[in-house]
Amino acid sequence: MNSLVIRLVCGVLFAALVLGMVAHPPDNLTQGLGMLLPGVFLLHFALRGPRRSLIPRKRSPTDSPSPSVEPPQP
C-alpha cells in the first residue's frame, strides 16, 4: 500500500480521535490514558510514515584499506 495513503488515513483517524475527546471528554484519567496510546501510534505514523527511510542504507566496507595508508615506493 502506498505510504502516502497510510499517512493520510492515520492523520484522519488521529484527528477524529482528538475531536472525539474534545466533544466527549473521558470520565476518568485511566480512560483518557487508554485513549492516548492509540493516538500516539496514529500520530507517529501520520508524521513519519510506515518506514523511516525509503532509500536503504549502504554498508561501508570494513575490509578495504584506507586510501591514506600506502606502501612505500622503492
Decide if pLDDT at 30 tops 80.
yes
This prediction has a pTM of: 0.60
Residue 17 contacts by C-beta under 8 Å, 6 or more apart in sequence? 35, 38, 39, 42
CA distance 72 to 48: 51
Decide if pLDDT at 56 tops 80.
no
| Residue ranges of domains in the chain | 3-48
Decide if pLDDT at 58 tops 80.
no
CA distance 11 to 48: 11
Phi/psi-derived region of residue 49, left when phi > 0, alpha when psi is between -120 and 50, beta in every other case: left
Q: Which amino acid is at 38?
A: P
